[in-house]
Amino acid sequence: MANHVRIANLATHLGEEVVIKGWLYNARSSGKILFLEIRDGSGIVQGIVAKNAVSEEVWERAESLTQESSIIVTGTPREHPKRPGVYELDVRDLTIVQLTHDYPITPKEHGIEFLMDHRHLWLRSKRQHAILRVRHEVVRAVRDFLDNDGFILADTPILTPAACEGTTTLFELDYFDEGKAYLTQSGQLYNEATAAAFGKVYCFGPTFRAEKSKTRRHLTEFWMVEPEVAYATLDDMMVLAERFLCFIVERILERRKEELTLLERDISKLEAIAPPFPRLSYDEAVQMLHEAHLAGKLEHDFIWGGDFGAPDETYLAQQFDRPVIIHRYPAQVKAFYMEEDPERPEVVLCMDVLAPEGYGEIIGGGQRMQSYDRLAQRIAEHNLPREAFEWYLDLRRYGTVPHAGFGMGIERCVAWLCGLEHVRETIPFPRMLYRLRP
């Protein structure tokens, strides 16, 4: 009896009779030969059904197939005579598991809202497959880098009693008799606790921001990896972020060039990513934006003290052929826990890493506040509930040390690597301001 083989593994079964279990992606006919594009999740293979090589019953079944019908095919794989490394399947038998009718996503062009409404089916397309395989490789590279660099995975809670990144972007819910709880904006506060236990840790999971934003860079639910290191400084984090991103880019170029080619990604731009990354202080970045405005390159002048918007980040990133690190932002635009620069208390020891080609911030982080008294003061200044942060203050009561970390959003990283216009295609089921289904 023929063995069930995945399409991705056909090269090791040439000349053997195998069974493929999958779906019909597309089909065309040339008289007495049918060409069936069969997919099984691992790849697509062309199945050739010759009328004179199969029974009449098998031929009739093959002729009746419709797009996305589920099928089990028996045949013999061989290498394409004119395309080395490409394989075909000479079909001997075919069983229909289900004959599909009126599959909604036909080969014609469809609008993005229609495709998003049918996201559960759109995932079956070649483009979406390529994007999500790149995502898978990014996730694997993230774990490999951190695991091999001495980090311990320490997962953090999704339900939290207080804000991490600001109270205006919280998803709130009732938590039994305990009052209000919130979907996590970041695992970073809990990371600081586990870093004090293990030295080098990371968390990796979904995070939530109730931002009423409709830009191409925003999702309300996204995945973030957050390393945190005890006895580390802002400079240490800039070096770590640089090594981290270079490792991910190299891994994608090594293992996912086929997917990048299908997406028509300009691979040369990724091949240019190498250390060292340019580093600009916030002050230097503001000066660049001001000069660009005077030269007529930016519509609005940028005033010191604000946070960069998308046009500002895009302009700054476009000046370089690799990610750029901007550090020491004003304290007023960053989270309450950021350590102040001892030489300039109005700025904090933080950084953002902006991806090239206009993809904006993909990493944000910095050094955390070390002093118990100063942190307690900052919590009060931000009108945060002291009781919800007593455990966090304990980390400064008992063995406080300099420590630092950062977070990287997986979806923005994938959008950059794939050269996508919008982050909505970088996650299987995106959640956006006006998108909760499917």
pLDDT, one tens digit per residue, over 312-324 is 999 999 999 999 9
Tokens of 261: 């080619």
Tokens of 100: 């599909």
Answer yes or no: are the C-beta atoms of 204 and 154 closer than 8 Å: no
**Residue 417 phi, psi dihedral angles, 5° rounding:** -60, -35
Dump pLDDT digits (tens) for 16-33. 999 999 999 999 999 899
Tokens of 94: 């075919």
Q: What is the pLDDT of residue 122?
A: 97
* Confidence band, pLDDT 50/70/90 cuts, at residue 108: confident
Q: What is the pLDDT of residue 214?
A: 79
5, 25, 31: which is closest to 16 by C-alpha?
A: 5
**Spans of all domains in the chain:** 3-98, 120-418
Answer yes or no: are the C-beta atoms of 44 and 25 closer than 8 Å: yes
Other CB atoms within 10 A of residue 48 CB:
17
* Confidence band, pLDDT 50/70/90 cuts, at residue 82: confident
Q: Residue 68: left if φ>0, alpha if ψ -120 to 50, beta else—which one?
A: left
Q: What is the pLDDT of residue 366?
A: 98
Other CB atoms within 10 A of residue 388 CB:
16
C-alpha span between 303 and 169 (Å, rounded): 25
Largest CA distance in the chain: 85
Write the burial class of residue 12 (CB in 10 Å: 0-12 exposed, 13-18 middle, 19+ buried). exposed
Dump pLDDT digits (tens) for 237-258. 999 999 999 999 999 999 999 9
C-alpha span between 5 and 16 (Å, rounded): 11
Dump pLDDT digits (tens) for 276-302. 999 999 999 999 999 999 999 999 999
Q: What is the pLDDT of residue 167?
A: 65
Dump pLDDT digits (tens) for 339-377. 999 999 999 999 999 999 989 999 999 999 999 999 999
Tell the CATH topology of 120-418: BirA Bifunctional Protein; domain 2 (3.30.930)
- What is the pTM assigned to this prediction? 0.94
* Confidence band, pLDDT 50/70/90 cuts, at residue 1: confident
Task: Over range 165-180, report the average pLDDT.
Answer: 85
Q: What is the pLDDT of residue 377?
A: 96
361, 388, 367: which is closest to 376 by C-alpha?
A: 388
Task: Over range 404-418, report the average pLDDT.
Answer: 98
338, 300, 295: which is closest to 319 by C-alpha?
A: 295
Q: Is residue 220's pLDDT more than 80?
A: yes
Write the burial class of residue 281 (CB in 10 Å: 0-12 exposed, 13-18 middle, 19+ buried). middle
Q: What is the pLDDT of residue 169?
A: 81
Q: What is the pLDDT of residue 81?
A: 87
Rounded to the nearest 10 degrees, the angle between the axes of helix 310-318 and helix 282-294 is 90
C-alpha span between 246 and 72 (Å, rounded): 42
Answer yes or no: are the C-beta atoms of 350 and 359 closer than 8 Å: no
What dihedral angle (degrees, nearest 10) is formed by the CA atoms of 173, 175, 178, 180? Answer: 0
Q: What is the pLDDT of residue 212?
A: 85
The percentage of residues in the chain with a pLDDT greater than 90, rounded to a whole number, is 90
Task: Over range 117-140, report the average pLDDT.
Answer: 97
State the average pLDDT for the chain. Answer: 95
Tokens of 214: 């409709």
* Confidence band, pLDDT 50/70/90 cuts, at residue 166: low
C-alpha span between 25 and 123 (Å, rounded): 12
Q: What is the pLDDT of residue 411?
A: 97
Cα atoms in the Cβ-side hemisphere of radius 13 Å centred on 229: 23
Q: What is the pLDDT of residue 31?
A: 87
Q: What is the pLDDT of residue 162?
A: 79
The percentage of residues in the chain with a pLDDT greater than 70, rounded to a whole number, is 99
What's the alpha-carbon Rg for the chain, to the nearest Å? 26
Tokens of 391: 């455990």
Q: Is residue 168's pLDDT more than 90?
A: no
Angle at 193 between CA 190 and CA 197, to 5 degrees: 140
Q: What is the pLDDT of residue 143?
A: 98
Q: What is the pLDDT of residue 344?
A: 96
CATH of domain 3-98: 2.40.50.140
Q: What is the pLDDT of residue 207?
A: 96
